[in-house]
Amino acid sequence: MFTVKPDCSSKARIAVRRSPATFSGAGKSRRSRLRVPELRVNGKGSVRAVISSGDKTLEAASPLESKGESNGSLGSLRGGGIEVRAVVTVRKKMKEKLAEKMADQWEFFVNGFGQGIIIQLISEEIDPVTNSGKSVESSVRGWLTRPLTNSHIVEYAANFTVPSDFGCPGAILITNLHSKEFYLLEIVIHGFDEGPIFFPASTWIHSRKDNPESRIIFKNQASLPSQTPPGIKDLRREDLLSIRGNGKGERKPHDRIYDYDVYNDLGNPDKDEDLARPVLVGEERPYPRRCRTGRPPTKSDPFSESRIEKPHPVYVPRDETFEEIKQSTFSAGRMKAMLHNLIPSIAATMSSSDIPFKCFSEIDKLYNDGFLLKDEEHKDIVENPLVGRMMKQVMSIGQTLLKYEIPAIIKRDRFAWLRDNEFARQTLAGLNPVNIELLKEFPILSKLDPAVYGPPESALTKELIEQELNGLSVEEAIEDKRLFILDYHDMLLPFIKKINALPGRKSYASRTIFFFNKTGFLRPIAIELSLPPTPSSLRNKLVYTHGHYATTHWTWKLAKAHVCSNDAGVHQLVNHWLKTHACMEPYIIATHRQLSSMHPIYKLLHPHMRYTLEINALARQSLINGGGIIEASFSPGKYAMELSSAAYKSLWRFDMEALPADLIRRGMAVEDSSMPCGVKLVIEDYPYAADGLLIWSAIQEWVESYVEHFYSEPDSVTSDLELQAWWNEIKNKGHHDKRNEPWWPKLNTKEDLSGILTTMIWIASGQHAAINFGQYPFGGYMPNRPTLMRKLIPRENDPDYEKFILNPQLTFLSSLPTQLQATKIMAVQDTLSTHSPDEEYLGQVNPLHNHWINDHEILKLFDRFSARLEEIEEIIHQRNKSNHLKNRSGAGIPPYELLLPTSGPGVTGRGIPNSISI
């Protein structure tokens, strides 16, 4: 008789006692007895294994086993091996049609008889005969009948007879014999003395008829490439190869292929010549890469990809699609947007032109009354066969779905948006707090070509500015760091002529000067609005200041509205779409293509990649596409993505996307080694930056400790082949048009790696939250942040000047977006500001992903990160109560909560999701 000691270390063996007496009667050895945990699903849907040392048998055997049809009792020997059990957890759809329910019952039945799912355990040890990992195979034969609190989760069992020298399983091959895919949550292997071994999946398993290759699932042990157990090295490599694709072929819905393509799918020239859009690629129009779909080119333009319009989905790798809860929430938001668009559209068809707001009470009706059309008033429309059915559906739904919530910006103080100090406050604590800069030099000069755009000097003169500086000179104010600027001149002026040629669009390139006085208030003191020079006027720069009589009072309001319009466009197209959504996509594609799911950096980044490719694909389909909502509702119109590309070319660089680096670049902070994050804010009461630095430092500490844990050896970063390939691919493929820039960080040390990862996680979480979830709270009241202007400011020689003098309010309102444009963008902002019920927030783990890593030290570090975020949440609450922080407290001021880590579902104006998921 001999004994092999059971262990699941790298030299693991399964416990086997050859003597049959060992397994008989009350004298069983505790070592040899199989301990099968009871599986329970908690109220949140978490599958947990509850170990009980007293368990002697599996409490709920499958129906087949109860009939004596199992492969034998667990723990009994057969041919010198031991039997272990795999528990396979599958998630069903929550809402199923009758046919789907019947199909599920059939699959349930087929699985029970071992004809639906085949799983193969692969050992971490090499089989000397095959020179690959040892393997054993079995079919799922039976379902576990234990009642589960989550009715959408089903558990199946498979039994294996494992040889005594098998070692510890490191991977599972799973083959789906059904005709359709299923969603695999995890597989847990029971029978080893250490307790259950977890194989987290959370993935769709394709049908063998769609792809004959089996899926590879690795256990929850993080391993660098050099640490990969020999038995699964080949599988690690094969799994990555199966994901990369080869840049050929059209992708099918079941595919999990991550590949790159250019932004060539925004236009639709086959439908309408006016919907043709340039491809964003190369030196002239550089842009990050997107996920490749492989659709054929358009007939009109061989360089543009043909489009798929709603409701048909754009391809993303299968596991990137919205889960059912998220899909339902997003669909509800789209439905709401449709309803809001429908009614003003019908109203517009009854008029010769789109309808502007004529008084502020008409805007208030959006929140108080909503859009409710009565059958008798619009009988001819309702009876129209093309719209009647939809109209009746709208009518039957009722009034509440057609009403907007009162946005936070006017909920406490209806007139806050009119004040200069609120206009300034929002540059620090609003929706777009990332463009204000310290004014470092004077005079202010343009970098644009003077031969094309006129003299570079600004019309904001020293004399004009000093009138507002309370006795200071410009030089003194600059020295004291009291002058700030919001400068969109050089970014926008090259587009202004084209924008102003569009119907219903009039725009300027703006500069706004702010003065930070000794009482700690920021106020705007001058606005410069520029048009391209004309042959008759090389200088076409207008300056506005806060006037003290009626006419200048209104022209100042109009000037501020034009600045807000510019700010809204730059926010949406540059800071929001480009710098978070579009720039994050190549990081996600490269992570899947080059880092194994076993890789510790993959495991770190995985929560921060959720849903991003899907929301980006939906944006290309409906938001940023030619003729889409962004073009229809924002100043740049059809030139929106060209503007975004120009900003990528001139402004974007990875090393400046780190929050401390960005603040220093803009002059909003100075280096100070004695301060957290090594920076000191120039304006202490800068809510976005102050709260952002707290979040940044928490992410940085978590990432540095995580990286230190896995990369403790001196050359471990440079010798990690997967990691180096990942970073090279991000630079050379994902951001191909900027691959030769000298500012790309090196990846030689663990400090380099920590900095890169902290930046990526900050962009996906805190940065996106700060500039996304305030869209409706700040933009839902159109006068506060008009997304476009339809008229230039009247001047004395203009035909409309007399109308302006007679009714300045009507001139102001008719310059804003029309009722149709306003309701459309409000509906979109409402949708984009909404948290899904299944949102996963920073510092939290999805209950179904509790077994994401088998490393107690990492789990302790993560708990510390979570606890720090809870502390930060309390700090932010206390800041919002402070009477000394005027930009986040005071009469009628909504507290700054965009960087509070957690939130409930809905439009809350707070909460930091792990990923860019909306």
DSSP H or E run through 84: strand 81-91
The total of other beta-carbon atoms located within 10 Å of residue 807's CB is 13
3-class DSSP state of 907: strand
**Structure token digits, residue 873:** 């949440």
Contact (Cβ atoms closer than 8 angstroms) between residue 155 and residue 142: no
Choose among 824, 504, 781: nearest CA to 637: 504
Choose among 531, 457, 411: nearest CA to 795: 531
**Structure token digits, residue 281:** 């690629």
**Structure token digits, residue 528:** 């410069």
Active-site position among 772, 784, 850, 880: 772
**Structure token digits, residue 913:** 């999701």
Active-site position among 178, 190, 581, 599: 581
**Structure token digits, residue 445:** 């000069």
Choose among 613, 621, 563: nearest CA to 593: 613
Q: Give the separation between CA 340 and CA 353, rounded to whole angstroms.
A: 19
Q: Give the separation between CA 432 and CA 486, rounded to whole angstroms.
A: 11
Q: Which residue has the tokens 């706004």?
A: 512
Q: Is 571 a catalytic residue?
A: no
Q: Is 772 a catalytic residue?
A: yes
Instruction: Provide the sign of the torsion angle of the four alpha carbons 866, 867, 868, 870, taken in this order.
Output: positive
Active-site position among 340, 378, 562, 576: 576
Q: Is 877 a catalytic residue?
A: no
Please name the residues in contact with 77: beta carbons below 8 A apart, sequence gap of 6 or more: 16, 18, 20, 23
Distances (CA, A) of 626 to 275, 305, 491, 621: 5, 13, 21, 9
Contact (Cβ atoms closer than 8 angstroms) between residue 543 and residue 555: no
Q: Give the separation between CA 895 and CA 391, rounded to whole angstroms.
A: 40
Q: Is 581 a catalytic residue?
A: yes
Q: Give the separation between CA 87 and CA 92, rounded to whole angstroms.
A: 16
Choose among 654, 631, 848, 664: nearest CA to 739: 654
Chain centroid offset of residue 594 CA: 21
**Alpha helix locations (H) across 856-915?**
856-881
Contact (Cβ atoms closer than 8 angstroms) between residue 773 and residue 743: no
Q: What is the 3-state secondary structure (H, E, C) of 660-710?
A: HHHHHHCCCEEECCCCHHHEEECCCCCHHHHHHHHHHHHHHHHHHHHHHHH
Contact (Cβ atoms closer than 8 angstroms) between residue 75 and residue 138: no
3-class DSSP state of 196: coil
Active-site position among 768, 825, 851, 876: 768
- DSSP states along 487-536: E-HHHHHHHHHHHHTSTT----EEEEEEEE-TTS-EEEEEEEEE---BTT
Q: Is 918 a catalytic residue?
A: yes
3-class DSSP state of 188: strand
Contact (Cβ atoms closer than 8 angstroms) between residue 189 and residue 166: no
Please name the residues in contact with 66: beta carbons below 8 A apart, sequence gap of 6 or more: none
Residues that are catalytic? 576, 581, 768, 772, 918
